[in-house]
Amino acid sequence: MCGINAIYAFHPSALPIDREELTRTREAMRSRGPDAAGGWCSDDLRVGLGHRRLSIIDVSERANQPLMSREGDLALVFNGEIYNYAELRQELMAGGETFHTTSDTEVVLRMYRRSGAAMLPRLRGMFAFAIWDERTRTLFLARDPYGIKPLYYSNDGRTFRLASQVKALVAGDGVSTTRDPAGMAGFLLRGSVPEPFTMYESIRALPAGSWMTVSAAGAIEPQSYFSLAAVLRDAVHSNRYHSQAERQEIIKRAVTESVRYHLVSDVPVGAFLSSGRDSSTVVALAAESGTPMRTVTLRFEEYTGTHKDEAPLAEVVARHYGTQHATCTLSRQAFRKELPKALASMDQPSIDGLNSYFVCKAAAELGWKVALSGTGGDELFGGYSTFRTIPRFVRAFGLFRYMPGLARGFERLYGRVMPTVHARFSPKTAHALKYVHSYEGAYLMKRGLFLPEELPSVLGEGIAEEGLRRLAILDRIREAITPDPGSPFARIAAMEAALFMRNQLLRDLDWASMAHSLEVRVPLVDAFLLREVAPVVFTSRRRDGKELLARSPRTPLPPAILTRRKTGFTLPIRDWLAAEQNETPHVFGMRPWALFLYQQNVQAV
């Protein structure tokens, strides 16, 4: 896991690159890679690459980056891990390739030399990288299928810049810091900034599962090589019957294999352990692989003795599978003391990242470099309430798609006749009939923080209008289910993975872990796993994917894990912040927290 950056002065009229800017951008990502730093610039100063390294595979200096090809015509900076690199390496060696390191990075470099972008679907892992190809004087960049690892770029028409973090590009002092109304609107609507937007007009995210090139002619539009919706569509229409025993065996085999791949490392690997099925299953399969496992649980004083306290059951799981376990307690005082540092580490505003920050902090304080997470199980196996509620909304209110006048009438009636009721219900209720008749609208209602109608009062009329126009939030949500995944269950899976998980959960894991120089791996977020299990998860009438997942370990999970009510991993932030502002917890909800983060982000440059 690392931090990468590059500058390419591609246009003939562009000034040579600034070595100091390259270094400033790289050093803004020091916590992403404290083990080594490297840089390379072409002789003509038209292109430069920077790298901060967190050494996980081949920890020797020979694997430091930028990594040059032995022919001297390729230079690579890489962030992430390729879990199947050993098999790919053997294949390349059988074809006559030789290697100077045992790193996965060199495998990527040699595969690119042979296959170019065609290699991308064969890489099993999380990655974002850039390759300078002197043969064509082209900068090639790519990102993994799910977007686990971030990659941001800025193009002013003459010079192209990229980095692993938005704040790193800003720190280089070579990009405009004009705020983007679309990014601002997106954050308030969703609680995180939807890709490809950021909070800055000049900075964009390379979309997940895509690549692009920059040459003297400029940057091409990102090219997709992976579609989550298409994989689900193919699974739904596979029309193959699987018995229950076959379904169980396929899921068990695929998940076990994914966990095994995610244990590949030259340093010890630990795991986050809650009292939920996903993390417990990952821990169980990792322990059963023969790898000595360390686990950690974060608990909170306020939750002690309640159903939200995950520590007691997590300790049961740890004993059950023989892990070296640690329970770390976070107090309100410790939270408040650390909060400024956490907010400064947040690359883009997010209402849900502090939980990840503090569990990563606990792992780093135990001396960990790598941790497994159960993130992704709910999106893949249907664990959220959205899998039930959104299709129900669309079925019940689908007719309102053809009766927009009734929806507008309900909005007016709600505002005039129900002022007392309005105070007891979500402000979004007045606009419900306008949205819940479609999957994209119902998803915005369910997962949204604010609705578009509310943004003028927060952002002002002009900024809200421009931001909403450019963001086109319903179109953006609709993209997640294009092509049509083919069933209500698959549509929700696509939206949750492409929107909530990618823009919030995975992004939060990245900045929160990198703030503590910790690599977090997500075995349940894997394109190879998806292709294996989708035909048995999304074609069955049974919605039992989570149950089948939990049955994957040879040694069954403790019964208390299987019967525990789902709570999610949350901090008592509402209670803590409410106490500081003399509010009651039920009044101080996530909207005030989002507005606080919005103000913090807009004021900071």
- pLDDT value at position 429? 77
Question: Token match 């709570």: residue?
Answer: 567
Is residue 409 one of the residues assigned to a domain?
Answer: yes
Q: How confident is the model at residue 588 (pLDDT cuts 50, 70, 90)?
A: very low
Question: Does residue 16 share a domain with residue 76?
Answer: yes
How large a percentage of the chain has pLDDT more than 90? 78
Mean pLDDT on 362-376 = 97
Phi-psi region of 585 (alpha: psi -120 to 50; beta: other; left: phi over 0): alpha
Q: How far apart are CA 501 and CA 94, in angstroms?
A: 38
Question: Does residue 515 share a domain with residue 455?
Answer: no
User: Three-class SS of residue 460?
Assistant: coil
- pLDDT value at position 570? 64
Of 156, 223, 544, residue with least CA distance to 382: 544
**Residue 316 corresponds to which tokens in the numbers above?**
């049961």
Give the torsion sign (CA, 10, 12, 13, 18).
positive
Pairing of strands 74-82, 67-68: antiparallel
pLDDT tens, residue by residue, 391-412: 999 998 877 676 666 666 666 6
Question: Does residue 45 share a domain with residue 182?
Answer: yes
Mean pLDDT on 352-356 = 90
For residue 184, the one-letter residue type is: M
Mean pLDDT on 181-189 = 97
Backbone angles phi, psi at 270, to 5 degrees: -115, -170
- pLDDT value at position 605? 45
Is residue 553 one of the residues assigned to a domain?
Answer: yes
Question: Does residue 197 share a domain with residue 181?
Answer: yes
Residue 254, Cα to own-chain centre: how many angstroms? 21
Indicate whether 459 pLDDT > 90. yes
Q: How confident is the model at residue 165 (pLDDT cuts 50, 70, 90)?
A: very high
Question: Does residue 357 share a domain with residue 429?
Answer: no
Residue 120, Cα to own-chain centre: how many angstroms? 19
Indicate whether 343 pLDDT > 60. yes
pLDDT tens, residue by residue, 41-92: 999 999 999 999 998 888 888 889 999 999 999 999 999 999 999 999 999 9
Q: How far apart are CA 381 and CA 366, in angstroms?
A: 32
Q: Which of 34-48, 462-476, 536-550, 588-602 has the lowest mean pLDDT?
A: 588-602
Q: How confident is the model at residue 603 (pLDDT cuts 50, 70, 90)?
A: low
**Residue 174 corresponds to which tokens in the numbers above?**
């070579």
Query: Which residues lie below 8 Å from residue 373, measured CB to CB, with a gap of 6+?
Result: 271, 272, 279, 282, 509, 520, 521, 522
Q: How far apart are CA 392 and CA 396, in angstroms?
A: 6
CATH classification of the domain holding 191: 3.60.20.10
Question: Does residue 545 share a domain with residue 578?
Answer: no
Task: Please check whether residue 453 is in contact with residue 185, taking contact to mean a CB–CB distance below 8 angstroms.
Answer: no
Is residue 493 one of the residues assigned to a domain?
Answer: no
pLDDT tens, residue by residue, 514-539: 999 999 999 999 999 999 999 999 99
Q: How confident is the model at residue 591 (pLDDT cuts 50, 70, 90)?
A: confident
CATH classification of the domain holding 233: 3.40.50.620
Backbone Cα Rg of the chain:
24
- pLDDT value at position 398? 73
Which of 198, 226, 254 terminates a domain? The answer is 226
Question: Token match 């505003």: residue?
Answer: 349
- pLDDT value at position 403? 67
Mean pLDDT on 273-277 = 91
- pLDDT value at position 96? 93
Task: Please check whether residue 182 is in contact with residue 470, taking contact to mean a CB–CB distance below 8 angstroms.
Answer: yes
Indicate whether 587 pLDDT > 80. no
- pLDDT value at position 57? 83
Task: Please check whether residue 186 is in contact with residue 197, taking contact to mean a CB–CB distance below 8 angstroms.
Answer: yes
Helices (H), 215-276: 228-236, 244-261
Query: Which residues lie below 8 Å from residue 505, measured CB to CB, with a gap of 6+?
Result: 352, 375
Q: How confident is the model at residue 328 (pLDDT cuts 50, 70, 90)?
A: very high
Across the strands, what pairs with 209?
none
Mean pLDDT on 162-166 = 98
- In the chain, % helix, strand, coil (3-state, to 5) comes to 50, 15, 35
Mean pLDDT on 481-485 = 97
Is residue 67 one of the residues assigned to a domain?
Answer: yes
- pLDDT value at position 307? 79
Of 322, 255, 249, residue with least CA distance to 291: 322
Q: How far apart are CA 32 and CA 332, in angstroms?
A: 27
Is residue 369 one of the residues assigned to a domain?
Answer: yes
Mean pLDDT on 359-373 = 97
Is residue 497 one of the residues assigned to a domain?
Answer: no
Sheet with 519-521: list strands edge to edge. 324-330, 294-300, 269-272, 370-372, 519-521
Question: Does residue 190 share a domain with residue 130?
Answer: yes
Task: Please check whether residue 346 is in contact with residue 581, taking contact to mean a CB–CB distance below 8 angstroms.
Answer: no
Task: Please check whether residue 216 is in contact with residue 137, taking contact to mean a CB–CB distance below 8 angstroms.
Answer: yes
Which of 226, 244, 260 terminates a domain? The answer is 226
Instruction: Find the distance separating the first CA and the last CA of the chain, reported in whole Å.
Output: 26
Mean pLDDT on 300-322 = 89
**Residue 447 corresponds to which tokens in the numbers above?**
């997962």
Indicate whether 584 pLDDT > 80. no
Indicate whether 564 pLDDT > 50. yes
Total domain count, the chain? 4
Indicate whether 162 pLDDT > 60. yes
Q: How confident is the model at residue 568 (pLDDT cuts 50, 70, 90)?
A: low
Residue 111 host element (H or E): helix 104-115
- pLDDT value at position 419? 54
- pLDDT value at position 604? 56
Backbone angles phi, psi at 40, to 5 degrees: -150, 140
Mean pLDDT on 347-374 = 95
- pLDDT value at position 589? 65
Q: How confident is the model at residue 431 (pLDDT cuts 50, 70, 90)?
A: confident
- pLDDT value at position 532? 97
3-state helix/strand/coil string of 341-362? HHHHHCCCCECCCHHHHHHHHH
Indicate whether 576 pLDDT > 80. no
Question: Does residue 19 share a domain with residue 130?
Answer: yes
Question: Does residue 257 share a domain with residue 193?
Answer: no
Q: Which of 161-165, 197-201, 469-473, 562-566 has the lowest mean pLDDT?
A: 562-566
Backbone angles phi, psi at 423, to 5 degrees: -70, -20
Is residue 578 one of the residues assigned to a domain?
Answer: yes
Q: How confident is the model at residue 583 (pLDDT cuts 50, 70, 90)?
A: low
- pLDDT value at position 562? 87
Q: In a 10 Å sphere around its CB, with 0-12 CB exposed, 13-18 middle and 19+ buried, how is residue 178 labelled?
A: exposed
3-state helix/strand/coil string of 11-44? CCCCCCCCHHHHHHHHHCCHHHCECEEEEEECCC
For residue 283, the one-letter residue type is: V
Question: Does residue 242 share a domain with residue 96?
Answer: no
Q: How confident is the model at residue 378 (pLDDT cuts 50, 70, 90)?
A: very high
User: Three-class SS of residue 488?
Assistant: helix
Of 601, 573, 148, residue with least CA distance to 348: 601
Mean pLDDT on 245-251 = 97
The residue segments making up the domain with residue 303 are 229-383+505-572
Q: How far apart are CA 309 and CA 274, in angstroms?
A: 9
Angle at 278 between CA 276 and CA 280, to 5 degrees: 65
Question: Does residue 371 share a domain with residue 288?
Answer: yes
The secondary structure of 524-588 as a DSSP string is TS-HHHHHHHHHHHSSSS---HHHHHHT-SSSPPPHHHHHSPP------HHHHHHHHTT--TTTS
Compute the mean pLDDT over every residue in the chain, rounded to the nearest whole number.
Answer: 91
Tell me the C-alpha to C-alpha distance, in Å, between residue 104 and each of 100, 128, 414, 501: 11, 13, 59, 26
Mean pLDDT on 228-252 = 95
Question: Does residue 412 share a domain with residue 359?
Answer: no
Is residue 485 one of the residues assigned to a domain?
Answer: no
Instruction: Name the DSSP letter for residue 179.
Output: B
pLDDT tens, residue by residue, 446-456: 999 999 999 99
Of 6, 113, 15, residue with least CA distance to 49: 6
Q: How confident is the model at residue 304 (pLDDT cuts 50, 70, 90)?
A: confident
**Residue 458 corresponds to which tokens in the numbers above?**
């927060």
